[in-house]
Amino acid sequence: MENLSFAQKSLYVTLLALVALMILFSVMSLKNRGMEGYNQCIQAKCELAGEEYCTKFREVNNCCLGAGGKVVFVENAYSCAFN
């Protein structure tokens, strides 16, 4: 580490910070798995932008994929199914 230039040290520190962020986000994403995580995600979107926004396919799909489910169309509405 002593014989590295300033640019190399900066890049090394940046790389370590990115790895730490990757680990942090991976751990944070584990709490959003399953039906409970999906419901929390949809609830947050509904509170933020309203009922019409949170029932759009794109938003349901984003929450569903993040929770590890698959989007299904049931009773004229999009929902998330889990295996």
Whether residue 43 is found in the same domain as residue 67: yes
9, 10, 17 from 21: Cα distances, Å? 18, 17, 6
pLDDT computed for residue 42 by the predictor: 93
Total number of domains constituting the chain: 2
Whether residue 52 is found in the same domain as residue 72: yes
pLDDT computed for residue 28 by the predictor: 85
- Nearest-angstrom CA–CA distance, 44 and 33: 15
* Residue 80 and residue 72 in contact, taking contact as beta carbons nearer than 8 Å: yes
Whether residue 42 is found in the same domain as residue 13: no
Whether residue 21 is found in the same domain as residue 53: no
pLDDT computed for residue 40 by the predictor: 92
Whether residue 26 is found in the same domain as residue 39: no
Whether residue 1 is found in the same domain as residue 40: no
Residue ranges making up the domain that contains 55: 34-83
For residue 42, which amino acid is it?
I
- Nearest-angstrom CA–CA distance, 9 and 15: 10
Q: How do the pLDDT tens digits run along the chain, 83 residues long?
A: 789 999 999 999 999 999 999 999 988 888 778 999 999 999 999 999 998 998 999 999 999 998 999 999 999 999 999 98
Whether residue 18 is found in the same domain as residue 44: no
Whether residue 24 is found in the same domain as residue 2: yes
Whether residue 46 is found in the same domain as residue 78: yes
